[in-house]
Amino acid sequence: MDKMSRRSQRTVVHNTRNTETDVIDLFEIFDLVKKKLLVFIILGVLGSLGAGLYTKFRIPSTYASSGSIYLTPIINQTGIVDYNSLYSNSRLVETAMSMMKKDNVLTVVAENTGMPNASSVRSTLTVSNEEGTEIITIKSVTTNPELSKQIVAETIDTFIDKMKENLNVKNIEILDAPKLSYQKVGPNLFKNSIMGCMAGLAIAFGYVLFLLITDSRIKSREQAESYLNMPVISEVPKWKRTNQFDLDEIFRHMRTNIEFMQFDEKLQVINITSTVKNEGKSTISYNLAKMYAAKYDKVLLLDCDLRNPSTHSIMGISNNKGLTNLLMELDSIKSIHDSGYVQSIDSTSSGYKLSVLTAGKSIPNPIEVLSSSRFSAFMEKAKSEYDYVLIDCPPVGLVADAIPVSNIADGTLFVVSCDENCKKAIKTSKEDLERNGINIVGVILNNVDSKASRNRKGYGYGYYGYGKTNEE
């Protein structure tokens, strides 16, 4: 089976995975809430302060007055309570409460108290019943204590008169006459301040959800695997927050994971690419090449990003001559390693010896060079001389240079930087590679927030490679 056939099979396997949905999990929400904690505090305080100030200076104080009436039982001629009347009174309570708030009663109250209409009186009234009794309580709350008392008194008097006049009900007594009270019953400053705080927190939480829903970037292993339909081989945390020893362990496990994924076919030429520049592919290429060089004798790191080479800058070596210079003299070169264009990096302390071929002289037509038979011949010669060749490849999403390089490689590592590019651009780049029959081994997730990744289920990074991420 040739290389193209094997790649086509892998592509089919990738495309049959059924994951096209974006899922916002609780970890993402919790992580973003922690990051936006200051927003929650500010909006909570502002909401509480705003509600408190509005309550104190804009909402007028209210005063209450209440009174109660009692539906007295009928006593017969022998001085014994008529129990039939008790039953009738209990049934009359609900009717009386409903009638008390009808227009025929409240219209009279409005006229006697100077209120505009029955509806305005009704809006101030509360009529309630003490459960299990025939006591009805009438309460009025207004901004004027005298008006509150007057409304209750007028409501009781008018109701009693109407009951006598219309229903001949005479067993209603005033149990508690309404009293004038200057004690404020509202507004509740504390309650309104708490509600304002809760409203501020709700706005902050809505803001967090809005950010999550509208954020089109990949932020976690779970999102990368779900959206791209391929495994994440390794996660690399943000470089500034990780010491070199931990980084070496991460790339050592990355190498081990790649080796375990080879199965029956050795990935001798490993290509590292990304969607756009500045996603960390060059730095990852260099560090991964070091780990291969620590295990194998002959490892070549090749910079094929001819438009924007950076391997020499990362390693602090010269780029005066490199791949483009070597290709011009390929016919006369017997050994790539001894050609004078390959630089050897020998680190005794780290225990590796790495061969590096930088991009070399800038040329106007990189795509023609990388697509040429001369470059293919060079790669065949490199495979015969080195155990492994790791290629720092141009980005897929910017130029077409990555396609011919990736086609020559046995496997491609797709670097995705967290919180950098939109998902659509990343997926388009991945699909471009697959359409050209390129074997994408998996994803390297770069610039992962180590704190956000802790305690997540799935693959981890650091000392343990695959498995749950552990607290350090």
Tell me the pLDDT tens digit for each residue of 111-152.
Answer: 999 999 999 999 999 999 888 788 999 999 999 999 999 999
Rounded to the nearest 5°, which phi and psi values hold at 82? -80, 105
Looking at residue 252, what is its pLDDT?
A: 93
C-alpha 372, offset from chain centre: 46
Looking at residue 88, what is its pLDDT?
A: 59
Return the closest-CA partner of residue 450 out of 236, 257, 283, 208. Answer: 236
Looking at residue 349, what is its pLDDT?
A: 66
**For the chain, what are the domain ranges?**
3-22+217-453, 41-56+188-210, 60-186
- CATH tag for 60-186 (out of 3.30.499.10, 3.40.50.261, 3.30.70.1130, 2.60.40.10): 3.30.70.1130
Q: How many CA atoms lie within 13 A of 422 on its CB side?
A: 7
Pairing of strands 172-176, 62-71: antiparallel
Looking at residue 14, what is its pLDDT?
A: 40
DSSP string computed for 22-54:
----HHHHHHHHHHTHHHHHHHHHHHHHHHHHH
**CB of 357 closer than 8 Å to CB of 396:** no
Looking at residue 25, what is its pLDDT?
A: 65
Looking at residue 5, what is its pLDDT?
A: 43
Mean pLDDT by 10 residues, the chain (472 residues): 43 40 68 89 96 94 94 57 53 82 94 94 93 88 96 94 83 91 93 96 92 82 88 87 79 92 83 92 94 94 94 93 93 92 83 91 92 95 96 89 93 90 88 93 88 49 37 33
Looking at residue 282, what is its pLDDT?
A: 94
Looking at residue 468, what is its pLDDT?
A: 38
For tokens 């001798």, name the residue: 268
- Determine the Cα–Cα distance for residues 55 and 423; give it in Å rounded to an integer: 47
Between the alpha carbon of residue 317 and those of residues 12, 165, 391, the distances in Å are 42, 109, 17
**CB of 292 closer than 8 Å to CB of 312:** no
- Determine the Cα–Cα distance for residues 433 and 438; give it in Å rounded to an integer: 5
Looking at residue 7, what is its pLDDT?
A: 43
**CB of 366 closer than 8 Å to CB of 307:** yes
C-alpha 16, offset from chain centre: 27
Looking at residue 27, what is its pLDDT?
A: 76
**CB of 89 closer than 8 Å to CB of 113:** no
Model confidence pLDDT, tens digit, residues 71-108: 876 555 454 444 455 455 566 788 888 889 999 999 99
Looking at residue 130, what is its pLDDT?
A: 82
Most distant CA pair in the chain: distance in Å? 136
The secondary structure element, H or E, covering residue 174 is strand 172-176
Return left, alpha or beta for 72; rule: phi > 0 is left, psi -120 to 50 is alpha, else beta: beta
**CB of 453 closer than 8 Å to CB of 250:** no
Class of domain 3-22+217-453: alpha beta
- Determine the Cα–Cα distance for residues 38 and 35; give it in Å rounded to an integer: 8
